[in-house]
Amino acid sequence: MRPQYEHLSLSPGQSWRLLWRELPELPFLWHYHPEFELTLTLNARGQRYVGDHLADFSDGDLILIGPNLPHTWSASERIAPERQMLAVVIWFSRDWLVQLQTSLPELAGLLQLGKRADRGLQFSAATAIGVKPLMLRLEKLAPAQRLPILLELLLLLAQDEQARPLASVASASITVDVQRHRMGKVLDYLHEHFQAEIPVALLAERAALSVGAFHRFFKRHTQLTVTAYLAQLRIGSSCQQLIQTDKAIGVIAQEAGYRNLAHFNRQFRAAKGVSPRDFKKRYR
């Protein structure tokens, strides 16, 4: 099973990213990305995969994943059935840690924390309990107010001497900087314009490659064709709209880039195993 590359983009004016993810279950998605990932999982029980490490997890699981280390969580059991599972996820780059140390030498311990996380780190129960209220505060704060909370919780993590590594070896850098920059330009465009028809030649031009070389380059780094990657983006956007809005299914299909409703229904069923209408009923 080969991990899938996940492209993460930052909002303008922000140096790191927060995801507040409430779901009835945690889907299995074996993936990697060049950013660190700090994940607090609540009201869920299942299995956690980090590199070559497999373990059970439960409520309050707190993990820091290093860059390019394949990982996923898989759970279908809610500890409190009446509530959704919650994953609070924070992403930040190694460059961000280096810049912190350069400008604020008092935070040098955070770069050391990053080095320890190259194999993945599971934090002690005591540290997870101390960090949990800080992570739960983040969602309702403005970006500028979140930053000092993030630094506070990272400093708490850096002090956890009981944190234990997970994978037996750290993941090597999967792409060199030039390739990562090239792929980033392509993925940024796809994520911003996935609703439109996107000629492959345009993407190849952004990557400074021929069309044939671009197809091979894209497949090597994402494990998907451009068409499959676009479908994944469009179906993902549709799922979010089906769960969070009352828009008609035809409108959601149009906004996701599908000009034909029957084609959308086929693509959605192939990806999710149910029709868009049944998906909406299941999760609303």
DSSP 169-224: SPPPPSS-HHHHHHHHHHHHHHHHHTTS---HHHHHHHTTS-HHHHHHHHHHHHSS
pLDDT value of residue 178: 63
pLDDT at residue number 68: 84
Given a contact cutoff of 8 angstroms between Cβ atoms, the answer to whether 101 and 111 are in contact is: yes
Q: How far are the Cα atoms of 87, 124, 132, 268 from residue 40, in angstroms, in the given order?
A: 6, 12, 7, 30
User: Which spans in the chain are helix H?
Assistant: 94-103, 108-116, 125-137, 143-158, 177-193, 200-206, 211-222, 226-244, 249-255, 261-272, 276-283
What is the pTM assigned to this prediction? 0.72
For every one of its 284 residues, what pLDDT tens digit does the chain have, with 9 covering 90 and above? 566 788 888 888 899 999 999 988 887 788 888 899 999 999 999 999 998 788 999 999 999 999 888 899 988 789 999 999 999 999 999 999 999 999 999 998 999 999 999 999 999 999 999 999 999 999 999 999 999 999 999 999 999 999 999 988 776 544 445 677 788 788 888 888 889 999 999 999 998 999 999 999 888 877 789 998 888 888 888 887 887 788 999 999 999 999 999 999 999 998 888 899 998 887 65
Q: In Å, how far are 94, 155, 163, 272 from 111, measured between CA atoms? A: 8, 10, 16, 40
CA distance 241 to 48: 28
The answer to whether the CB of 269 falls within 8 A of the CB of 275 is yes
What was the pLDDT predicted at 171? 61
At 93, give phi and psi (nearest 5°).
Answer: -100, 165
CB 92 within 8 A of CB 20: no
Beta bridge partners of 36: 92
Helix, strand, or coil here: 248?
A: coil
User: Could you tell me which residues come within 8 angstroms of residue 197 by beta carbon, excluding any fewer than 6 positions away?
Assistant: 257
